[in-house]
Amino acid sequence: MAGSARHMHGGKMGRIVKISNLKKTLRYLRKNGIRRAYYAMKERVQSEREEDYTYTVPQELCLRKQIEEGKKFSIRFSILVPAFETKEEYLRDMVDSVLSQTYGNFELIIADASATDQVENVIKEYSDKRIMYRRLKLNAGISANTNQALMYATGDYAALLDHDDILTPDALFEMAACIDSHEKKEIQLQMLYSDEDKCDENQSHYYEVNKKPDFNLDLILSNNYICHFMVMKRQLMQELTFRSVCDGAQDYDLVLRAVNVMLGKDRLRTSKVELPVAHVGKVLYHWRCHEKSTAENPASKQYAYDAGKRALEDFLRARGWKGTVSDLRHLGFYRIEYQPDLLSNRPDTAVVGGKLISKNKITGGIYTAEGKPLYQGLHKEFSGYMHRAVLRQEAELIDVRCMKVSHPAEAVLEELIGLPYLPHPGNGRFDWRDSLNSEVDYLDLSRRFCERIRQLGYRIVWDPDMTEKVN
């Protein structure tokens, strides 16, 4: 298969995807009503037409090169797999994908809670000493079972792999290379994650690639976008362990508690903390979709989304932030309603920006550091790629025409515009219409303002629920 391309398109897969989407639409209709369901269906059809994703297996030459380069690394991985009555072919695919890694310094720890001997019999077919099989006396749930595997881990980093999913052959090499490159800069990474996609039962079609951003604090507080493939410093994972109270969202809960540790205990810290977290921008994980999987039918595990909400609530309590967590329209997506507001709870944040709307479409509001607008042209009722257009998230650059600021940020803006800061009497936002003339280059002012804010060490947050109509 080396060097070949695998496409998501095709007759059979097309039918599967469409049926799946129809079911999702019906569930969405029942939950959110006709208007929102209409726009959700319209957006889904449009994105399906536009998506052109192909997963390409790395070339054989590239894989052989990784084998040689990997000999320079000393990093050892512990891959944790809780298993339960795993279908034989899925189990073999999972194990084979691990044994096919170009970076071979790992241990594969399988904690089997099955009532039958099915998993054990398959594992007995393998003679690789890197495989550690442990038969559990009882099925105590996903968290407890994973903790059993974690207990035996001895690697530098621990990685999570579901029993029916697949790693790409370069997964561990890419993680090791990322860790090594940071160590050369004297940065000890505590957590890493990669991009991922979905595949059908037979691994014949790959689709819905999830290209993730670099670590974004407020985005992870909206959705577990990290998900697969996640690797964490083994000592940190063993210190935290998995909590059964969050079964179904135990990985999200683990990530949030790890983030809390990395942020530190000082809730009143007034400067932004750069966390030792890295994103490997490459698909390293195939999330298999089948009838019983969450990937194929998210509603099949409603309890998992309730657990995610619980994990977020616990994170807020741990940070000392006051707020409530509510579900958004799509399953597994959340919003924190800070009380009385975000700026009052988050001394690390100085600016909250919103989106600009013109003729029912997003025209701006959030930009890359270079000034490229995100979500531009998207209908205001659409949720965007991976629903990120409706999620609160940390931003490099927001638009001064739709923002609320803290007192330190007020002083920065006053210096830039040479006028006193004026809040709008109705909503408390910056009153840009009365403060700025029409000839001002809004984007340039926004860039200079946000650069100063970041230099002072504050976070900038974009909130899509805050909107401003512009011409």
What span, in angstroms and rounded, lies between the C-alpha atoms of 393 and 259? 15
The answer as to whether 320 is a domain residue is: no
Q: Kindly report the CA angle at 372 between 384 and 263, in degrees rounded to 5?
A: 75
Whether 228 and 359 map to the same domain: the answer is no
The count of structural domains within the chain is 2
Side-chain-side CA neighbours of 402 within 13 Å: the count stands at 24
Co-location of 356 and 298 in the same domain: no
Kindly state whether residue 2 falls inside one of the protein's structural domains.
Answer: no
* Residues 350 and 298 occupy one common structural domain: no
Phi, psi of 465 (to 5 degrees): -75, -15
Whether pTM > 0.95 for this model: the answer is: no
Q: Of 267, 302, 337, which one is at a domain's C-terminal end? A: 302
Please check whether residues 298 and 377 belong to one and the same domain: no
Token couple for 4: 């070949």
Is 157 contained in some domain?
Answer: yes
Residues 90 and 230 in one domain: yes
Pairing of strands 277-288, 191-199: parallel
Q: Are 108 and 211 within one domain?
A: yes
> Do both 270 and 382 map to the same domain?
no
Residue 37 lies in a domain: no
Boundaries of domain holding 379? 345-469
**Dihedrals φ, ψ of 85, to 5°?**
45, 45
Instruction: Examine the fold and report which residue of 302, 330, 353 is the final residue of a domain before the chain moves on.
Output: 302
Residues 406 and 266 in one domain: no
Q: How far apart are CA 114 and CA 134, in angstroms?
A: 11
236 and 370 belong to one structural domain: no
Residue 225: the pLDDT is 98
Domain end, chosen from 302, 322, 356, is at 302
Separation between Cα atoms, residue 207 and residue 198, nearest integer Å: 5
Residue 204 within any structural domain of the chain: yes
pLDDT tens for the chain, 471 residues: list them. Answer: 334 444 433 334 444 445 555 666 666 677 777 777 776 777 677 777 677 899 999 999 999 999 999 999 999 999 999 999 999 999 999 999 999 999 999 999 999 999 999 999 999 999 999 999 999 999 999 999 999 999 999 999 999 999 999 999 999 999 999 999 999 999 999 999 999 999 999 998 999 999 999 999 999 999 999 999 999 999 999 999 999 999 999 999 999 999 999 999 876 667 788 899 999 999 999 999 975 555 555 555 789 999 999 999 999 999 999 999 999 989 999 999 999 999 999 999 999 999 999 999 999 999 999 999 999 999 999 999 999 999 999 999 999 999 999 999 999 999 999 999 999 999 999 999 999 998 999 999 999 999 999 999 999 999 999 999 998
Token pair listed for 302: 């409603």
Q: Where residue 87 sits, what CATH number does that domain have?
A: 3.90.550.10
229 upstream amide cis, omega within 30 of 0? yes
Cα three-residue angle 198-202-207, rounded to 5 degrees: 25
Residues 132 and 273 in one domain: yes
pLDDT for residue 179: 98
Residues in the chain: 471
The C-alpha angle with vertex 41 and arms to 201 and 54, in degrees rounded to 5, equals 40
Q: Using CB atoms within 10 A of its CB, is residue 36 exposed (0-12), middle (13-18) or buried (19+)?
A: middle
In a domain, 30, yes or no: no
Provide the β-strand partners of residue 6: 55
395 lies in a domain? yes
Distance of alpha carbon 398 from the chain centroid = 21
Output Rg (C-alpha) for the chain, integer angstroms.
24
Residues 6+ apart with CB under 8 A from 328: 222, 334, 335, 387, 390, 391
| pLDDT for position 25 | 65
Residues 358 and 456 occupy one common structural domain: yes
Q: Cβ(280)–Cβ(196) under 8 Å?
A: no
Other Cβ atoms within 10 Å of 85 Cβ, number: 14
Q: How many CB atoms lie within 10 A of CB 425?
A: 7
pLDDT of residue 162: 97
Instruction: Identify whether 13 is part of a domain.
Output: no
Beta bridge partners of 56: 5
Distance separating the N- and C-terminal Cα atoms of the chain: 53
What is the pLDDT at residue 14? 43
Residues 256 and 349 in one domain: no
